Amino acid sequence: MKVIELHESVTASNDHDADALRMQMKMDGTLLINLMSSPGSGKTTLLKATVSLMPDVHIAVMEADIASDVDAVTMEKNGAQSIQVHTDGMCHMDAGMTAEGLKHMDLRNTDLVFLENVGNLICPAEFDTGAGKNVMILSVPEGDDKPLKYPLMFSKADALVISKIDTKSYFDFSLEKCVERVKRLNPEIEIFPLSAKTGEGMSAWCQWLHAQIIAWQKGEQR
């Protein structure tokens, strides 16, 4: 298991680094997805289910945390190439850190790389990682008011996964209110209510991923 120690990029132009990384990933035909959420939202559980349901897609995972290698070990056990990166105490990944982590992965013939960003709803939204798509996870137990409290994260995301939808009856969570609040911030966002545990909604999520990979490899996305 590789564990890579990373430091925040010293360059003042993260946007330039991000654009360069995006261009390189497009040339390689590999879609990088930046996956953001708060701790405990179900990122790793979602990735495990996704890898299982998409055996025809070559998927790799970069797990970003302040410490530990638990998530990377879990993903490797589930059949995905995975590395763990430590962020030297930083609460986010930037483009330079992401590019450095990718150097330690064998991405030949890889269709899709998930960057599981550091868990919080503030810092990751502020830094372009060079990803082709940004995806956010909001779990039902977190509440339907999170778009009101963390608008930048919802505004930056291309897609929102509302996870643990099978627990909705146990929490004061209105799917309708949540969707309305998110759409007010980001009318173009795709929303996927799902449960990685029961499989509910996973088909639509995987179909969206397939479509994004095809569009990326055809050069139809930014």
Number of domain units in the chain? 1
Identify the pLDDT of residue 91.
77
Q: Which amino acid is at 24?
A: Q
- Predicted confidence at residue 8, as pLDDT, reads 55
80 domain-assigned? yes
Domain assignment present for residue 26? The answer is yes
Q: Is the separation of the CB atoms in 124 and 37 below 8 Å?
A: no
Q: Which residue ranges in the chain fall short of pLDDT 70?
A: 1-12, 66-72, 88-89, 221-222
- CA-to-CA dists, residue 35 to 12, 44, 168, 171, angstroms: 24, 10, 22, 24
By three-state DSSP, how is residue 186 classified?
A: coil
**Pick from 119, 188, 128: which is nearest to 159 by CA?**
188
Give the pLDDT confidence score for residue 63 in this predicted structure. Answer: 87
What's the pLDDT at 172? 93
CA dihedral 175, 180, 182, 187 (to 10 degrees): 130
Where are the alpha helices (H) located in 54-138, listed in sequence order? 70-77, 95-102
135, part of any domain: yes
Dihedral sign (CA 49, 53, 55, 57) = negative
CA–CA dist 209, 26 (Å, integer): 16
Q: The domain that contains 46 carries what CATH number? A: 3.40.50.300
Separation between Cα atoms, residue 191 and residue 160, nearest integer Å:
5
Note the pLDDT of residue 15: 86
Does 134 map to a domain? yes
Q: What is the pTM of this model?
A: 0.90
pLDDT of 156-193, one tens digit each? 999 999 999 999 999 999 999 999 999 999 999 999 99
- The token pair at 71 is 């998530």
Domain range holding 181?
A: 3-217
Is residue 222, in this structure, part of any structural domain at all? no
